[in-house]
Amino acid sequence: MSEAALALDIRDLRAGYDSYDVLHGMSLHVANGERIGLFGPNGHGKTTLLNAISKVIRPNGGSVSFMGEPIAAVSARGIVERGLIHVPQANRLFPDMEIMETLELAAFTRRARAERKTNLDYVLKLFPRLAERRRQQCKTLSGGERQMLSIGVGLMCAPRMLMLDEPTLGLSPKLKEELAAAIAGIGTRGMPMLIVEQDIAFVLSLVDRMYFVDHGEIAREIHRGSDVDHQEIMDMYFGERAAS
Amino acid sequence: MTLDALSTVLVSGIVLASVYALIASGLSLVWTTLGIFNFAHGALMTLAAYLAWTVSDAAGLGLWLGAGIAIAVAGVVAAGVLIERLIVRPFYDHRDILLITVMTTLAAMIFIEKGSQLIWGARLKQLRPVVPGQVNFLGTTISAQEALIIALAPLLLGLLFLFLRNSRIGRGIRAVGQNPNAAKLIGIDVSRLFIITFALSAALAGLTGILLGSVRMVTPAFGAEPLVKALIIVIFGGLGSLGGTIVAAYLLGLLEAFLIFFIGIYWAPSMIFVLLILILLVRPQGLLGKVVR
Amino acid sequence: MPVKLDARSLGLAALVVVGLLVPFVVQDTYVRHLFIMAFIYAVVASSWDLSLGYAGIFNFGHVAFFGIGVYATGLTAKLLGLDPWLAMMFGGVAASAAAVLVALPVVRLQGVYVVLVTFAFSQLVLQVVISQSAVTGGTQGLIRVPTIELFGYNFLRDFKFGYYYVAFGMMVVAVACLRWLARSDFGLSIMAMRDNEDYAASRGIPIALQRLKVLVFSAFFAGLAGGFFVVYLRVASPEVFSFSTTSLILSMVLVGGTSTIYGPVIAALVLTFVSEGLANFEGLAEGRFILVAVAMIVVLVFLPKGLASALPKRWGQRAAE
């Protein structure tokens, strides 16, 4: 397979629910090996964007390509088969299934099954707590454990790129740190990532570049090390009112 | 109550329970996976019994019984898949899918029932038993066919459990039932697993129909009574799981046998319904269930 | 409420006049019989629309209310010698009483449980009727039910002239009551409850009580129709509780469009004529149920709001009003 320079290339993507669009022509890209943050107020299309890429919802227009291949017309299953893995927000997973069962099931596609052993070892090393609770049912897990399992499930799918939707939602600072370390660890393997996050400090520590999403469009792009300070980011969030 | 009478009641209860467990587990499988009730489930039993009769009975094609069973099961599996494709699938994203599919599958039930009547007539038919003769079970003589039902039910249900617990597709079916969106995101083809679920459930209904078709008389309404019992069982079982349904099926079968013995065949069904309503008044989530959906 | 003399009321009045004139044009006993049956079904279907359509209660026991009306009227008239007119009213009351019984679990339950309990209820009634054959005639059915008369006039005379008007009158009154109920504050509250239960509850609508009332009202009309059904046909069979009857009436509600009252009435007229017409052909007696089943599926798949939604927009809106 030829190595494209861009892992993910999205142009003018439009998507939404029922009859109205939430995304009004969104364009962004993720280079190979790059980690990208996506932030912005709630309800402005971050989750919708991930849903439209992974085909939880059907996009209404625009183009998406993954590793150089157009995938706007590919099914949800096809997206997973290609290794573009979406780890959704606050995933309940499968309440009555045990941790190990869930992880084994997650290697569902042919490609993922081939890598099952290696990926399972990696996930259990990354999150030792999952190994300790292997026979526990998903519904009995704490928020942090569930988030770990959720990322573990994503890794079992044999990802070539991960899209994480608010991996630290509702977690304590200590757990956030733990997760940040794990996510950084995944990143050091050269895995391109797209991380949606509200916690700016958290996301800044993890990514190379950030997009600010506002009203279903990319309002601003911020490079790491550029002189955007914390106050400026706060202003983007809360608009002029906070700035004045 | 003498020991003889007790064993007679017990054995007839186990036969009933085995039939109920088979029929209710198919209904429950579709419910836990798709969140809908297939009212045509009983009609699939009827269809299988008629197909097997046509292929294997002397008045039909007169072939070997095994051929009849194979063709009948294939036929109801096809019918099950058609039901899913034509009258369930169009409503997957609909807010009222439950209500609408109750109506469409009810229509499918009428379609199959009245269609059977047009094709096979209203006259009673009976299948040849898979195994002839009689056997002694717990001190009571029953037909070998009934003994077969008693033995096959746990076997088939055990296989179903193993399949759902350990196989990749079986686990996928459970995953889809518990969280279809999360299942989609690990690459499971939800729509394909829905078809497989319907096919499995139809196969179970078909096998039950064939087994029962040589114990009872086959009429166009052959599957209606087992369907109603299966509905009651899934409520008793609490709608939550296949396991709960199966336990409830055995409980209800035994209960019914005892009620028939003590208060007679005429009042027993009514008593069961009254009991059901009383239980729901006290425990709206069913006897064994936890709160679901 | 003042009567508005707009085009709509005039149209309705015209329809009633046409209904009143039909027997003068149609002399044939059989066609009049079809009209009578259609009026009965129209009452059952439109009253079902109140609980299923307006209130959104997944009630599948409505046909059992009809059947209870049939047997309550038939038995009191035949065995207790109650005047058939009173017995018909008693049929409605008995169905309402049964509705209270069903409501006990139903008002506390959700979605699929309501479907299952109401189905179970109709099977319960069926079982009781079949098992108590000494009284009900069992599977053989109830026969020789006394029929109505008025000042010595036998309704069977003059080619069912009298029955026609009783049936028509019953339908007009039932539909008027149902429409009035549906458009009253009560009707608005049950629709609010259907569309958003939590919101309705937060606005102080007593959900359980409203559900109970809906079931009692709609059951009354179904029972009344059942009562007339049995004094008109003079026989009754447990077939009235069957899945086939349920699907026939349900198809009328669906084809006509739920939450309209008028829709099911029109569909009852059309479907009765079509299905009874088919019953006259050799071998098609069962085929008509197949037709009804297919019609139900086609409407649900392609026209979920009923056939009215296929009409030109202006008409469709009026029908859905």
The predicted-structure confidence for B226-262, as pLDDT tens digits, reads as follows: 998 898 888 888 776 888 899 999 999 999 999 988 8
> Would you say residue C71 has pLDDT above 80?
yes
Least confident of C15-24, C142-151, C288-297: C142-151
Which pLDDT score is estimated for A241?
A: 45
Q: What is the chain C residue with the closest CA to B117? A: C286
Inter-chain residue contact B274 with C124, CB threshold 8 Å = yes
Q: Which residue in A81, A86, A97 is closest to B185 by CB distance?
A: A86
> Would you say residue A44 has pLDDT above 50?
yes
Least confident of B57-71, C21-35, C159-173, C303-317: C303-317
Q: What is the mean pLDDT of residues C86-91?
A: 94
Is C209 exposed, middle or buried (CB count within 10 Å of its CB: 0-12, 13-18, 19+)? Answer: exposed
Rounded to the nearest angstrom, the minimum Cα separation between C58 and chain B is 7
Q: Which one has a higher pLDDT value, C121 or B81?
A: B81
Sign of CA dihedral C25, C26, C27, C33: negative
Domain assignment of residue A238, yes or no: yes
> Would you say residue A240 has pLDDT above 60?
no
Measure Cα distances from B111 to B44, B84, B124 in Å. Answer: 11, 15, 19
Q: Which is nearest to C19 in space by CA: C160, C172, C158?
A: C172
Q: What is the chain B residue with the closest CA to C108? A: B284
Q: Which is nearest to B128 in space by CA: B218, B43, B22?
A: B218
Determine the Cα–Cα distance for residues A126 and A167; give it in Å rounded to an integer.
Answer: 15
In one letter, which amino acid is C133? S
Rounded to the nearest angstrom, the minimum Cα separation between B90 and chain A is 16
Determine the Cα–Cα distance for residues B153 and B169; give it in Å rounded to an integer.
Answer: 22
* Fold observed for domain B3-282: ABC transporter involved in vitamin B12 uptake, BtuC (1.10.3470)
Least confident of A17-31, A132-146, A168-182, C2-16: C2-16
Domain assignment of residue A210, yes or no: yes
Contact status of B92 with chain C (Cβ, < 8 Å): no
Which pLDDT score is estimated for C168?
A: 94
Last residue of a domain, one of A100, A135, A159: A159
Determine the Cα–Cα distance for residues B263 and B245; give it in Å rounded to an integer.
Answer: 26
Contact status of B6 with chain C (Cβ, < 8 Å): no
Q: Which one has a higher pLDDT value, C315 or C50?
A: C50
Residues contacting residue C277 through CB under 8 Å, at least 6 positions apart: none
Rounded to the nearest angstrom, the minimum Cα separation between B176 and chain A is 8
Q: Which residues of B16-42 are buried (b: 16+ CB within 10 A; e: fewer)?
A: bbbbbbbbbbbbbbbbbbbbbbbbbbb
Whether residues A209 and A239 share a domain: the answer is: yes
Determine the Cα–Cα distance for residues A207 and A193; give it in Å rounded to an integer.
Answer: 9
> Would you say residue B3 has pLDDT above 70?
yes
Number of C-beta neighbours around residue C14 at 10 A: 10
Whether residues A57 and A166 share a domain: the answer is: yes
Domain assignment of residue A183, yes or no: no
Least confident of A30-34, C99-103, C294-298, C307-311: C307-311
Q: Which chains touch C (3 or more CB pairs under 8 A)?
A: B
Q: What is the mean pLDDT of residues C243-262?
A: 87
Q: What is the chain C residue with the closest CA to B98? A: C112
Complex ipTM over 0.85? yes
Q: Is residue B91 helix, strand or coil?
A: helix
Residues contacting residue C229 through CB under 8 Å, at least 6 positions apart: C40, C66, C69, C70, C236, C240
Number of C-beta neighbours around residue B121 at 10 A: 11
Residue A69: phi and psi, rounded to 5, are -110, 130
Contact status of B166 with chain A (Cβ, < 8 Å): no
Decide: pTM greater than 0.80: yes
Q: What is the chain A residue with the closest CA to B94? A: A18
Contact status of A106 with chain B (Cβ, < 8 Å): yes
Contact status of B189 with chain A (Cβ, < 8 Å): yes
Domain assignment of residue A180, yes or no: no
Q: Which chains touch B (3 or more CB pairs under 8 A)?
A: A, C
Contact status of B239 with chain C (Cβ, < 8 Å): yes
Note the pLDDT tens digit of each residue in B99-139.
889 999 999 999 999 999 989 987 889 888 888 888 888 88
CB C139 within 8 A of CB B266: no
Q: Which helix H or strand E contains B180, and what residues bound it? A: helix B180-184
Question: B119 to chain C: which residues are within 8 Å by CB?
Answer: none
Whether residues A97 and A52 share a domain: the answer is: no
Q: What is the chain A residue with the closest CA to B165? A: A101
Domain assignment of residue A177, yes or no: no
Q: To the nearest whole percent, how much of chain A has pLDDT over 70? A: 90
Q: Which is nearest to A59 in space by CA: A125, A11, A7, A131?
A: A11
Q: Which residue in A80, A94, A156 is closest to B178 by CB distance?
A: A94
Inter-chain residue contact B168 with A106, CB threshold 8 Å = no
Inter-chain residue contact B284 with C104, CB threshold 8 Å = no
Whether residues A6 and A72 share a domain: the answer is: yes
Rounded to the nearest angstrom, the minimum Cα separation between B131 and chain C is 33
The DSSP bridge pattern shows strands A161-165 and A84-87 to be parallel
> Would you say residue A64 has pLDDT above 80?
yes
For chain B, the C-alpha Rg in angstroms (whole number) is 19
- The secondary structure of chain C, three-state, reads CCCCCCHHHHHHHHHHHHHHHHHHHCCCHHHHHHHHHHHHHHHHHHHHHHHHHHCCCCCCCHHHHHHHHHHHHHHHHHHCCCCHHHHHHHHHHHHHHHHHHHHHHHCCCCHHHHHHHHHHHHHHHHHHHHHCHHHHCHHHCECCCCCCEECCEECCHHHHHHHHHHHHHHHHHHHHHHHHHHHCHHHHHHHHHHHCHHHHHHCCCCHHHHHHHHHHHHHHHHHHHHHHHHHHHCCECHHHHCHHHHHHHHHHHHHHCCCCCHHHHHHHHHHHHHHHHHHCCCCCCCHHHHHHHHHHHHHHHHCCCCHHHHCCHHHHHHHHC
Inter-chain residue contact B186 with A108, CB threshold 8 Å = yes
CB A46 within 8 A of CB A215: no
Q: What is the chain C residue with the closest CA to B99? A: C58
Determine the Cα–Cα distance for residues A180 and A176; give it in Å rounded to an integer.
Answer: 6
Inter-chain residue contact A95 with B179, CB threshold 8 Å = yes
Where residue C320 falls among pLDDT bands split at 50, 70, 90? very low
Whether residues A73 and A141 share a domain: the answer is: no
Q: Which residue in B224, B270, B293 is closest to C243 by CB distance?
A: B224
Domain that residue A223 falls in: 1-83+162-170+192-244
Q: Is residue B25 helix, strand or coil?
A: helix
CB C194 within 8 A of CB C55: yes
Domain assignment of residue A46, yes or no: yes
Whether residues A58 and A166 share a domain: the answer is: yes
Domain assignment of residue A12, yes or no: yes
Rounded to the nearest angstrom, the minimum Cα separation between B290 and chain C is 13
Q: Which residue in B118, B228, B231 is closest to C286 by CB distance?
A: B118
The DSSP bridge pattern shows strands A61-66 and A69-70 to be antiparallel
The conformation of residue B219, written as its DSSP 8-state character, comes to: -
Question: B87 to chain C: which residues are within 8 Å by CB?
Answer: 297, 300-301
Whether residues A74 and A122 share a domain: the answer is: no
Beta bridge partners of A37: A195, A210
Rounded to the nearest angstrom, the minimum Cα separation between C261 and chain B is 19
Q: What is the chain B residue with the closest CA to A53? A: B185
Whether residues A78 and A94 share a domain: the answer is: no
CB A166 within 8 A of CB A129: no
In one letter, which amino acid is A10? I
Q: What is the chain A residue with the closest CA to B178? A: A94
Where residue A112 falls among pLDDT bands split at 50, 70, 90? very high
Whether residues A129 and A66 share a domain: the answer is: no
**Range among B265-279, C153-167, C184-198 rated most confident:** C184-198
Domain assignment of residue A184, yes or no: no
> Would you say residue C105 has pLDDT above 90?
no
Q: To the nearest whole percent, how much of chain B has pLDDT over 70? A: 96
Inter-chain residue contact A80 with B182, CB threshold 8 Å = no
Give the count of Cβ contacts less than 8 A between chain A and B.
Answer: 65
Note the pLDDT tens digit of each residue in C107-138.
887 777 888 888 888 888 888 888 888 888 88
Domain map (residue ranges) of chain B:
3-282
CB B254 within 8 A of CB B10: yes
CB A62 within 8 A of CB A49: no
CATH number of the domain that A44 lies in? 3.40.50.300
Is A189 exposed, middle or buried (CB count within 10 Å of its CB: 0-12, 13-18, 19+)? Answer: exposed
Rounded to the nearest angstrom, the minimum Cα separation between A142 and chain B is 18
Inter-chain residue contact B104 with C112, CB threshold 8 Å = no
Best probe of the B interface among C139, C245, C297, C305, by most B CBs < 10 A, is C297
The conformation of residue B40, written as its DSSP 8-state character, comes to: T
Q: What is the mean pLDDT of residues B144-167?
A: 94
Note the pLDDT tens digit of each residue in C189-220.
889 888 888 888 888 888 889 999 999 999 99
Which tokens go with B133?
């003769």
Q: What is the chain C residue with the closest CA to B85? A: C301
For chain A, the C-alpha Rg in angstroms (whole number) is 18
Rounded to the nearest angstrom, the minimum Cα separation between B139 and chain C is 31
Determine the Cα–Cα distance for residues A55 and C49; give it in Å rounded to an integer.
Answer: 38
Inter-chain residue contact C120 with B273, CB threshold 8 Å = yes
Is B81 exposed, middle or buried (CB count within 10 Å of its CB: 0-12, 13-18, 19+)? Answer: middle
Where residue A244 falls among pLDDT bands split at 50, 70, 90? very low
In one letter, which amino acid is C54? Y
Inter-chain residue contact B110 with C108, CB threshold 8 Å = no
Whether residues A125 and A154 share a domain: the answer is: yes
Q: What is the mean pLDDT of residues C21-48?
A: 90
Q: Which is nearest to B119 in space by CA: B67, B49, B70?
A: B49
Determine the Cα–Cα distance for residues C180 and C3; give it in Å rounded to an integer.
Answer: 12
Where residue A243 falls among pLDDT bands split at 50, 70, 90? very low
Best probe of the A interface among B94, B169, B186, by most A CBs < 10 A, is B186
Sign of CA dihedral B141, B146, B152, B156: negative
Where residue B293 falls among pLDDT bands split at 50, 70, 90? very low
Q: What is the mean pLDDT of residues B153-175?
A: 95
Q: Which residues of C87-124 are buried (b: 16+ CB within 10 A; e: fewer)?
A: bbbbbbbbbbebbeebbebbbebeebbbbbbbbbbbbb
Which pLDDT score is estimated for B141?
A: 87
> Would you say residue B194 has pLDDT above 60?
yes
The total number of structural domains in chain A stands at 2
Least confident of A1-5, B85-89, B211-215: A1-5
Whether residues A118 and A196 share a domain: the answer is: no
> Would you say residue A195 has pLDDT above 80?
yes
Residue C83: phi and psi, rounded to 5, are -55, 130
Q: Which one has a higher pLDDT value, A19 or B26?
A: B26
Determine the Cα–Cα distance for residues A47 and A216; give it in Å rounded to an integer.
Answer: 10
Place of tokens 């019989």: C33
